[in-house]
Amino acid sequence: MTLATIAGRSVHVNDEGFLTEFDEWDEALAAELAANIGITLTDEHLAVLRFLRADYRAQGETATLRRVATVGGFDTKQLFVLFPKKPAKKMSYVAGVPKPVGCV
């Protein structure tokens, strides 16, 4: 586990930069993580991130893109607009949860 300084504080990350400590995340940190990958957070982004975190807490694993769409009720095409190119990976990164299984 590596320590990184993000948004002015130290957080634990893995070798890909994903947070490894669930409770170190907050929305200010999310804004900084999003900025690191060229995304400016909106309320719509935050709704997705809150769903991912709640679902991770309940399920013990990161939701796939399909689960975010079907269970979370988010439109798949809109997820690609909000988190371009690799939405599952980017959503997870910004939400402070591990990459979904099978995500490269």
Residue 46: active-site member: no
How far, in Å, CA of 80 to CA of 86, rounded? 7
Out of 24, 93, 103, 104, which one is annotated catalytic? 103
Specify whether the CB–CB gap between 99 and 16 falls below 8 A.
yes
Active site members? 103
